[in-house]
Amino acid sequence: MKAARAKTPRRPALKKPPAPGPKDPVGVYCRVRPLSRQDQECCIEVINETTVQIHPPDGYRVFRNGEYRETQYSFKEVFGTLVVQKDVFDVVAKPLVEDLIRGKNGLLFTYGVTGSGKTHTMTGSPGDGGLLPRCLDMIFNSIGPFQAKRFVFKLDDKNGVDVQCEVDALLERQKRDAMPVPKTPSGNRRQMDPEFADMINVQDHCKVDEVDEDNVYSVFVSYIEIYNNYIYDLLEEAPFELIKPKPPQSKILREDQNHNMYVTGCTEVEVKSTEEAFEVFWKGQKKRRIANTQLNRESSRSHSVFIIKLAQAPLDADGDNVLQEKEQITLSQLSLVDLAGSERTNRTKAEGNRLREAGNINQSLMTLRTCIEVLRENQMYGTNKMVPYRDSKLTHLFKNYFDGEGKVRMIVCVNPKAEDYEESLQVMRFAEMTQEVEVARPVDRPLCGLTPGRRFRNQAFREELARKLEMRGGPVNGETEEQSASEIFLQNFPPLPSCELLDLNDDQTLPKLIEVLEKRHKLRQMLSEEFAKNVLAFKTTLQEFDSSVISKENYIQGKLSEKEKTIAGQKMELERLEKKIKTLEYKIEILEKTATIYEEDKRNLQQELESKSQKLQRQASDKRRLEARLQGMVAETTMKWEKECERRVAAKQLEMQNKLWVKDEKLKQLKAIVTEPKNEKPERPSRERDREKPVQRSVSPSPVPPSSNLITQVPSSQRFVSNPQVHRRSNSCSSISVASCVMEWEQKTPSHKHTGGTSNARSRQQEPEQSRDYNTSDRRRGMCWTGVTEVPRRRDELEIEEDQCCRNAPPVRLRHRRSRSAGERWVDHKPPSNLPTDTVMQPHVPHAITVAAASEKALAKCDKYMLTHQELASDGEIETKLIKGDVFKTRGGGQAVQFTEIETLKQESPTGRKRRSSPSNPDPPEDAADSEWTDVETRCSVAVEMRAGSALGPGYQHHAQPKRRKP
Ligand code: ADP
Ligand code: MG
């Protein structure tokens, strides 16, 4: 035994050159099983006959961006949930059985995760036989009448087959029958295991159309299991000990002379019917189940391989017996493989030993995957990488299917349930890749050279002979046939005379006998001559017939080969085109992928663009707002500066006028000195006084106010009243030169003296010195302070004068105050340019005469005056000022207004800027005061007099914020 176990000497490597003939891609089919429960989530749909679509289940995110994507996979054919076993068989397995009977090898395997229906597809379920029983049924339906007697074919232990004569086969049969336990099952359907009886109850009687009837056939089956990378023979007749079961012996793989791999010492059972074959299979199946249970193995982790071998050899020329030539025997095999579950180890929660086993199983499938990948790469890119078949028993066993020739088909089984999504995806990817691998197409075996139709002719001849013999009434049996024929033949001869010699001298009997015998001899000779002649004639006829048949055959063969050549050419063209299609499809796929990527990029860029343009729009609108605000500010500032400029110009003019006036005065004095010496002495002091005053005054009204001065001077109405240090003129006033004023004054002096001389004198006595100075200065300057008579002439003039000397002086007493016994009467001066404000507190003066412009008439009737003045505050709000004053009758009979209060009504925005002109602010900007002044100046056309030292409180300020009004 040791010698037998020794390593096989390595044969010189005679590498078979790669088959140059046509190749076929591995046929990959997909079968989708129905969901086990209706409420299960489904993730696979059959799109059409060749495409399935798989999509991630709910809540499953495939890509980082959370996109939900379906994937489509195309196969040679896709079987939906409603496709029955027969249809799968017809498409996938039938061609393999046809090939098997034509002497070609085939491999069919089912691939998928556990529970996806691999076993259901391969073996079937009770009442619904799978591919395996259907294959067996088709084989036996096809070769049934042409089967050899048992043991005519004998498999050797080197994956070869021998043929033995009928006698040897008979002897072996007898030997087996003599054995106590029958080695092969009975094959009787009635005694079959009810467990599988309905699985092989195939009704369709499928068979191969063209079976070579001049051959005899024998079927051998073997059943192995590959578990944990060990090969076990499931048909081995080893007594199984229930108490302490021995682990089964694993088998090794060898390569035969045709480079096919085989399991050494594997039991191969010759079977003569479907039932018998399936019974053998079932026996192996049972053994597998028992082993799994007893050795605590996971059945889904083993690969089971059922091998059907078909031996065939031609009949001899007579069509009677098998040709006893080994070279004429063809042995083809069909392997049906139910692969282990392709799921990853963690899915089944295998532990310890099982995990290791599972790892190995995965290793086998991984190796299968790698082999397919390398093969594909070699074929696609012309590389010559070594395919690692030897890395696992599974791939090693089927090496020659991929390397050599044969037809390989795979059924990918998938369960559409959502839990299997990831595994199914892996399965689909592998399957799609597998169909890119090509396998050399098996060639037709050569013809044996004997006349076809031998079996039929032999049969027909026998039948005919039997019929004829029957007609003659003779026995149908062959041996007695001959006897009776000779008897019949002898009966036709003349009867022999009696050859009994009666005495010694009998000279009649012998000569008579001799004569009869000679006659018979002659007859026989004649007959044999005729027979020979007939035979010759028949032979020639036969030969002629044969030669005509042969010539016809040759002709047909020629035609056939021609046609075959054309077909081969067309097939090659077809293949080329198919390859081209495949390449183009691959390209299309790549392009589609690229397009998808670009589209995604485009989408992203568009989004970016949109967000940027939005941002830009926002910025533009911001800019517009800012511009508008800036324009407003610019306009405001421009206005302010224009006013400021005007004011400065006016001040400068005043200063220049003052200087001019001083010069004039000096000139006058000089003139007086020159023209009137001595006699005008009484007026001198006054002139000198006057001359001194203007010098003083020229200082006080200094019309070029530094801005800081202004800020402190006119902060609010209170300051306006209590600290009015500003001395200014309106624009209209600026055109009047100081000199002309002096001239005017001088012209008026007589009337002054005339009309108000006494009162003037009286008042001078009454008033304090400062007050007198004040009035004098007024008079000197010819302003319209004291007489209404001047008012009409200087209607456009406004002068607010304040002298330092007047500040502490009591109010002017020169003017008459109206009696208030009849109640106060108001002149409500509202310039028409005022805008209505929506303030809640509207000023209302009862019994007032409302005027749009200052009117002397109205002033004469009233004793109170109020000017409503509006201006734009620095914060952009309208500020309304009610400038109030008392009306006095002047000595000259005119009216004078003495302003006493300023009431400010102002609106504020709750969200607006901080008011700079708020009364609490001690330093309001100069512009506010400025505009107050300028506007008052322009609007008030009557004389205004400030009551110097007025102790009136600040004007009321109404703060309201209902609306922000646009100026
Ligand atoms: P696997 O061999 O892949 O582990 P099975 O063939 O044992 O899976 O199938 C598991 C179960 O699913 C079995 O009960 C089987 O009857 C059922 N099944 C599988 N495929 C189909 C199908 N196409 N139609 C009906 N039932 C199926
Ligand atoms: Mg299974």
Q: What is the pLDDT of residues 692-708, one digit of tens each?
A: 444 444 344 434 344 33
Nearest atom in ligand 1 to the alpha carbon of residue 113 is: 3
Q: What are 306's strand-pairing partners?
A: 223, 336
What is the per-residue pLDDT across 825-859, written as a single tens digit (0 to 9) for each?
Answer: 888 888 887 777 777 777 778 778 888 887 788 88
CA–CA separation, 221 and 234 (whole Å): 11
CB atoms within 10 A of CB 413: 28
- What mean pLDDT comes out for the span 243-259? 83
CB neighbour burial string for 523-549, b if at least 16 within 10 angstroms, e if fewer? eeeeeeeeeeeeeeeeeeeeeeeeeee
> At residue 359, does pLDDT exceed 80?
no
Nearest atom in ligand 1 to the alpha carbon of residue 112 is: 3
Q: What are 398's strand-pairing partners?
A: none
Instruction: Give the residue whose CA is nearest to atom 23 of ligand 1.
Output: 33
Give the residue among 791, 756, 792 at the shortest CA–CA distance from 945: 791
CA–CA separation, 398 and 364 (whole Å): 12
How much is the pTM?
Answer: 0.52
CB neighbour burial string for 312-324, b if at least 16 within 10 angstroms, e if fewer? bbbbbeebeebbe
The ligand placed nearest to the CA atom of residue 88 is 1
- What mean pLDDT comes out for the span 757-767? 43
How confident is residue 796, by pLDDT bands cut at 50, 70 and 90? very low
Cα(197) to ligand 2 centroid in Å equals 20
Cα(81) to ligand 1 centroid in Å equals 11
- Answer for the pair 235, 284: CB distance below 8 angstroms, yes or no: yes
φ, ψ (nearest 5 deg) of residue 823: 90, 160
CA distances from 483 to 105, 118, 414, 472, 474 (A): 50, 64, 71, 13, 10
Lowest mean pLDDT among 149-153, 348-352, 501-505: 348-352
Cα(32) to ligand 2 centroid in Å equals 15
Nearest atom in ligand 1 to the alpha carbon of residue 123 is: 6
How confident is residue 678, by pLDDT bands cut at 50, 70 and 90? low
pLDDT of residue 63: 55
Sorted by sequence, the CB contacts under 8 Å of residue 227 that are 6+ apart come out as 297, 301, 302, 303, 357, 361
> At residue 664, does pLDDT exceed 80?
yes
Cα(301) to ligand 2 centroid in Å equals 9
Using the 8-state DSSP alphabet, how is residue 347 labeled? G
Residue with the bigger pLDDT between 293 and 108: it is 108
Lowest mean pLDDT among 362-366, 555-559, 713-717: 713-717
Cβ-in-10-Å burial (0-12, 13-18, 19+) of 797 comes to buried
**Ligand 1-lining residues (CB < 6 angstroms):** 33-34, 112, 114-120, 125, 300, 341, 413
Ligand 1 binding pocket mutation candidate from 120, 361, 419, 427 (most atoms within 8 A of CB): 120
| The two three-digit tokens of residue 80, written as one number | 């939906």
pLDDT of residue 18: 55
Ligand 1 binding pocket mutation candidate from 29, 33, 35, 81 (most atoms within 8 A of CB): 33
The ligand placed nearest to the CA atom of residue 302 is 2
Q: Which residues surround ligand 2, an ion (CB under 5 A)?
A: 118-119
CA dihedral angle for residue 596, residue 598, residue 602, residue 603, rounded to 10 degrees: 30
How confident is residue 371, by pLDDT bands cut at 50, 70 and 90? very high
Nearest atom in ligand 1 to the alpha carbon of residue 122 is: 6
How confident is residue 495, by pLDDT bands cut at 50, 70 and 90? low
Cα(772) to ligand 1 centroid in Å equals 130
3-state secondary structure of 181: coil
> At residue 929, does pLDDT exceed 50?
no
Residue that has been written with the tokens 């003495």 in this structure: 898
pLDDT of residue 205: 79
CB atoms within 10 A of CB 404: 17
Ligand 1 binding pocket mutation candidate from 32, 85, 122, 125 (most atoms within 8 A of CB): 125
To which H or E segment does residue 802 belong? none
3-state secondary structure of 210: coil
The ligand placed nearest to the CA atom of residue 413 is 1
CA–CA separation, 495 and 500 (whole Å): 15
To which H or E segment does residue 400 belong? helix 399-403
Instruction: Give the residue whose CA is nearest to atom 24 of ligand 1.
Output: 33
pLDDT of residue 821: 52
| The two three-digit tokens of residue 192, written as one number | 């079959």
Cα(653) to ligand 1 centroid in Å equals 115
The ligand placed nearest to the CA atom of residue 288 is 2
- Answer for the pair 331, 161: CB distance below 8 angstroms, yes or no: yes
pLDDT of residue 181: 55
Instruction: Give the residue whose CA is nearest to atom 11 of ligand 1.
Output: 115
φ, ψ (nearest 5 deg) of residue 408: -115, 130
pLDDT of residue 505: 78
| The two three-digit tokens of residue 218, written as one number | 């024998």
Nearest atom in ligand 1 to the alpha carbon of residue 81 is: 23
pLDDT of residue 718: 40
- What mean pLDDT comes out for the span 53-71? 74
Quote the distance between the C-alpha of residue 433 and its chain's center.
Answer: 24
The sign one gets for the Cα dihedral 395, 400, 405, 406 is negative
Nearest atom in ligand 1 to the alpha carbon of residue 33 is: 23
Secondary structure in 3-state letters for 640-704:
HHHHHHHHHHHHHHHHHHHHHHHHHHHHHHHHHHHHCCCCCCCHHHHHHHHHHHHHHHHHCCCCC
pLDDT of residue 522: 87
Nearest atom in ligand 1 to the alpha carbon of residue 116 is: 3
pLDDT of residue 66: 55
| The two three-digit tokens of residue 309, written as one number | 């071998």
pLDDT of residue 855: 79
- Answer for the pair 780, 770: CB distance below 8 angstroms, yes or no: no
Nearest atom in ligand 1 to the alpha carbon of residue 413 is: 3
Instruction: Give the residue whose CA is nearest to atom 22 of ligand 1.
Output: 33
Cα(87) to ligand 2 centroid in Å equals 20
How confident is residue 541, by pLDDT bands cut at 50, 70 and 90? confident
Lowest mean pLDDT among 424-428, 591-595, 881-885: 881-885
pLDDT of residue 218: 95
User: Taking each helix axis from N to C terminus, what angle separates 478-492 and 454-472, rounded to the nearest 10 degrees?
Assistant: 50
Cβ-in-10-Å burial (0-12, 13-18, 19+) of 620 comes to exposed
Instruction: Give the residue whose CA is nearest to atom 1 of ligand 1.
Output: 115
φ, ψ (nearest 5 deg) of residue 144: -40, -60
Cα(114) to ligand 1 centroid in Å equals 9
Number of separate helices (H) and strands (E) present in the chain: 25, 31
Lowest mean pLDDT among 132-146, 175-189, 206-220, 817-831: 175-189
Q: What percent of the chain has pLDDT over 90?
A: 34
823: left (phi over 0), alpha (psi -120 to 50) or beta: left
Cα(347) to ligand 2 centroid in Å equals 16
Instruction: Give the residue whose CA is nearest to atom 15 of ligand 1.
Output: 120
pLDDT of residue 835: 75
Cβ-in-10-Å burial (0-12, 13-18, 19+) of 736 comes to middle
- What mean pLDDT comes out for the span 609-614? 96
Give the residue among 79, 69, 70, 66 at the shortest CA–CA distance from 28: 79
Using the 8-state DSSP alphabet, how is residue 371 labeled? H
The ligand placed nearest to the CA atom of residue 121 is 1
Q: What are 162's strand-pairing partners?
A: 154
Cα(438) to ligand 1 centroid in Å equals 29
User: Taking each helix axis from N to C terminus, what angle separates 352-381 and 421-434, rounded to the nearest 10 degrees?
Assistant: 40
Residue with the bigger pLDDT between 294 and 66: it is 294
The ligand placed nearest to the CA atom of residue 285 is 2
Instruction: Give the residue whose CA is nearest to atom 20 of ligand 1.
Output: 117
Cα(374) to ligand 2 centroid in Å equals 28
CA–CA separation, 394 and 371 (whole Å): 11
> Angle at the Cα of 564 (from 560 to 569), degrees rounded to 5?
150
Q: What is the largest CA-CA distance in the chain?
A: 247
Cα(414) to ligand 1 centroid in Å equals 10
Give the residue among 869, 876, 934, 953 at the shortest CA–CA distance from 907: 876
Using the 8-state DSSP alphabet, how is residue 315 labeled? B
> Angle at the Cα of 289 (from 288 to 294), degrees rounded to 5?
100
Nearest atom in ligand 1 to the alpha carbon of residue 36 is: 12
- Answer for the pair 441, 142: CB distance below 8 angstroms, yes or no: no
Cα(340) to ligand 2 centroid in Å equals 7
CA–CA separation, 672 and 266 (whole Å): 161
Cα(117) to ligand 1 centroid in Å equals 4
Instruction: For the chain, state the CA radius of gyration.
Output: 68
- What mean pLDDT comes out for the span 720-743? 41
> At residue 753, does pLDDT exceed 50?
no
Q: What percent of the chain has pLDDT over 70?
A: 68
Cα(35) to ligand 1 centroid in Å equals 10
Give the residue among 493, 541, 483, 539 at the shortest CA–CA distance from 517: 493
CB neighbour burial string for 262-274, b if at least 16 within 10 angstroms, e if fewer? bbeebbbbbbbbb
CA distances from 470 to 61, 184, 466, 489 (A): 84, 40, 6, 17
Instruction: Give the residue whose CA is nearest to atom 17 of ligand 1.
Output: 117
The ligand placed nearest to the CA atom of residue 110 is 1
Cα(302) to ligand 2 centroid in Å equals 9
Cα(457) to ligand 1 centroid in Å equals 49
| The two three-digit tokens of residue 928, written as one number | 């506010």
pLDDT of residue 755: 42
Using the 8-state DSSP alphabet, how is residue 818 labeled? P
- What mean pLDDT comes out for the span 443-468? 80
What is the per-residue pLDDT across 411-422, written as a single tens digit (0 to 9) for each?
Answer: 999 999 998 898
The ligand placed nearest to the CA atom of residue 289 is 2
Cα(346) to ligand 2 centroid in Å equals 18
Nearest atom in ligand 1 to the alpha carbon of residue 32 is: 23
3-state secondary structure of 862: coil
Instruction: Give the residue whose CA is nearest to atom 10 of ligand 1.
Output: 115
- What mean pLDDT comes out for the span 798-814? 42
pLDDT of residue 336: 96
Q: How many CA atoms lie within 13 A of 575 on its CB side?
A: 16
How confident is residue 17, by pLDDT bands cut at 50, 70 and 90? low
pLDDT of residue 346: 53
Instruction: Give the residue whose CA is nearest to atom 19 of ligand 1.
Output: 117
pLDDT of residue 722: 37
CA–CA separation, 882 and 900 (whole Å): 11
3-state secondary structure of 466: helix
The ligand placed nearest to the CA atom of residue 127 is 1
Average pLDDT in the chain: 75
pLDDT of residue 9: 44
DSSP 112-136: ESTTSSHHHHHTEETTEE-HHHHHH
What is the per-residue pLDDT across 931-966, written as a single tens digit (0 to 9) for each?
Answer: 444 445 444 444 444 444 444 433 333 443 444 444
CA–CA separation, 935 and 546 (whole Å): 143
CB neighbour burial string for 631-657, b if at least 16 within 10 angstroms, e if fewer? eeeeeeeeebeebbeebeebbebbbeb
> At residue 735, does pLDDT exceed 80?
no
The ligand placed nearest to the CA atom of residue 343 is 1
